[in-house]
A and B are shown apart, each in its own frame.
Chain A
């Protein structure tokens, strides 16, 4: 096969082609023909078929062997006319079961045959059909058989096998519905209406009619209808359904809000920025659907096997028949037929076919419910294999925004006074550290004075006049050049620098007033998350453009194994490549925009903290929330899912690998064991239900299981 062509430019579900509703969700989920409803109808049909089969099956089982049952033995003795008529009635009843309960096997087998392919239906149709034809021939033309003992009927096989397989299919449909619950839950999050302000009037309109630029009003306790940016108001918003973060997030002007999240106590007015198919929720639903329908790489092998599987079973059953006919005990024809039928029925191509897709669907859905979007089965399998994880420092381990972390006053100065002085001097400066100081002052409720004049000395500091008083803010050398002695603060400054912070000296007139430390603060949960990553057996690497001293200080605090410092932004992808050349399978965690090349280079790229911008192309896994804990969860879920895939595949292979030889009678010469076709049907239905149940077990996976 040639390599795939990237065709992202063409959208398979392009709007206007009847596949999307104005709300942006697949039409199939919004209209009457939803897969869930299809599935429900299918389930009810199958259950009706099962009940009919079971109702006929119970008496058929008993009446097939009346001589084994004391009371019936006298009413229907062997070779009696009554028994013959009873069996004729059973033949008609079992034909009714074939026609009503089992018709899909025969039509399915016929459709497949027309495509020169074979599937489960083929096997069941040949198996049950053979039993019925054999019985009917034995009943009406017993003279064709060399001995009387070969003329027993096997209508019970036809009826009970049909009923059991139909029951298995019904349970399968039900369980399959459960695997896609996650995506249906996501779709269900979408609010139906929105309150918007148009022409000065507030009105409730259907959410489909909200357009970009509308001013949307959100009352306490109601859902945020679409994505947007807050204009006014303050509230805490519960975003757990989208981001997986359990704590409500404070929102104020200029903050981003995500549609389908829940406003708590305050009121908000926001401007809609993304509506319809562009909202984060619609994108998530689309991505999850695509990922669930993708293939885990291992399935390509399974596909090859299952392509040969069903015809191989037919061939095996023919060979089984021949061997039993030639070498088996008498009556050879009867034994040979039973073996052939049992072999056809016990084989379960479904368990093989469903093993991977079921786990994938459940695993991807589980991840989505924690705000983790896994792009495809490839990403899932790759995430299981990684042994090294590279974390971009800024914005991943740290908040990504410098802030005042410490203030050390000199004797005779107050903490707030120092900050107010520095903020006054820096008020009109454009230096990034200046912004941190001004914001730090604002956070403490300080109102800095306006400077009478100020002068920036690039690379050194700032000199400002507040009336008659001179304020200096900058490096120690800058202060000393102006005649201010600062050696009393030097020890504190050195300590702060060792902690990875930038010390800024402040002087008032001729006296050193104190040191302000500025740093990009480490996120509250980074340290715990990094420890958890290491417990998962990963080597954790921090990558940063910072100088080595600052980088190592942060590395020590959060506990990474290795530091790549002084890496220029354009070299990040190259650094990842170098680690891969060391023989590592490397995951990269970054912000998805600046780190896009490095994310693409890594074996698995995690884009973190994307908010409403969920469709980051460069990443394999997108974390809507900004917490590194999400990476831990994503890896844990990927591993659990792949483990589930392997369990299912192992189960399916072992089941077929053991079941087929036993059905063929391999054990008969040794312990006289020959499986009945009815037991085979039971085992076959059970095996496919087991595969799906095991996949559903994944849903019980709790993130508490992740080491913390």
Chain B
């Protein structure tokens, strides 16, 4: 192997490992939903190329209201689904759309776009 081949191989393999680490080993603490006056745990989520924040922490046993605000026209994100809670909503660009549900047991649930390309997590924690 020539030196340049060794460099390309080492850099390439490092890049491959880096990509795997970057995309697959992300863990973030997430954003804690704040309780508003009507007793709902509420979080505003920006929909633009992904969900911001994409990890929401809520307490079990109290109703949750996610407020989605979509700021893009790409068709991919036009619907949001929370399959574990049988919830879905159409997100017209520029509007705030509330989606409400009642988390029962502590656990982890996903919310996604219809194609499953954009993803977020709801972490239900013991109250």
Contacts and interface: CB of A to CB of B under 8 A. Distances in A.
B63 interface: yes
A42 B49 contact: no
A5 B52 contact: no
Interface stretch (A80-88, A188-196, A298-306): A298-306
Nearest to A354: B115
Given A4-B86, A294-B81, A294-B88, A10 B102 contact: yes
A303 B85 contact: no
Interface string B82-119: 01111111101111111111111111111010111111
Contacts of B109: 1-2, 4
A19 B86 contact: no
A294 B97 contact: no
Contacts of B79: 293
Nearest to B48: A111
A38 B92 contact: yes
Interface string A298-321: 011011001110110011001101
Nearest to A324: B8
B85 A5 contact: yes
B112 A303 contact: yes
Given A5-B102, A17-B98, A39-B75, A112 B115 contact: no
B116 to A, nearest CB: 4
A384 B96 CA distance: 38
A7 B86 contact: yes
Chain A interface residue bracket vs B: 35 or more
A376 B97 contact: no
B19 A353 contact: no
At the interface, is chain A mostly helix, strand, loop or mixed? helix
B49 A302 contact: no
A509 interface: no
Interface stretch (A102-110, A363-371, A483-491, A576-584): A102-110
A59 B88 CA distance: 46
B54 A115 contact: yes
B61 to A, nearest CB: 9
Nearest to B8: A325
Contact of B95 (A33, A41, A121, A290): A33
A348 B1 CA distance: 34
A521 interface: no
B75 A7 contact: no
Interface string A1-40: 1111101111111100111000000101000011100110
A286 to B, nearest CB: 11
Nearest to A295: B83
Interface in B29-88: 48-52, 54, 63, 73-76, 78-79, 81, 83-88
A41 B84 CA distance: 33
Interface residues of B, number: 63
A415 to B, nearest CB: 57
A12 B117 contact: no
B13 A294 contact: no
B116 A315 contact: no
Contacts of B86: 4, 7-8, 290, 294, 376
A276 interface: no
Contacts of A33: 92-95
A7 B116 contact: no
A120 B118 CA distance: 11
A4 B92 contact: no
A117 interface: yes
Contacts of B99: 12
B93 A38 contact: yes
Given A2-B106, A111-B50, A115-B54, A38 B85 contact: no
A165 B44 CA distance: 33
B117 A353 contact: yes
Nearest to A9: B102
A289 interface: yes
B18 to A, nearest CB: 9
B49 A110 contact: yes
A350 interface: yes
Contacts of B110: 1, 303
A241 interface: no
Interface of A: 1-5, 7-14, 17-19, 26, 28, 33-35, 38-39, 41-42, 45, 104, 107-108, 110-112, 114-121, 172-173, 176, 289-290, 293-295, 299-300, 302-303, 306-308, 310-311, 314-315, 318-319, 321-322, 325-326, 336, 349-350, 353-354, 357, 376
Given A4-B85, A28-B92, A322-B12, 20 more contacts: A1-B84, A1-B107, A2-B105, A2-B106, A5-B104, A7-B85, A8-B86, A33-B94, A111-B48, A117-B23, A117-B50, A117-B118, A120-B117, A172-B75, A293-B88, A293-B114, A319-B12, A325-B12, A353-B115, A357-B114
> 8 closest pairs, A vs B, by CB?
A111-B49, A2-B107, A5-B104, A353-B115, A293-B88, A115-B50, A322-B12, A311-B23
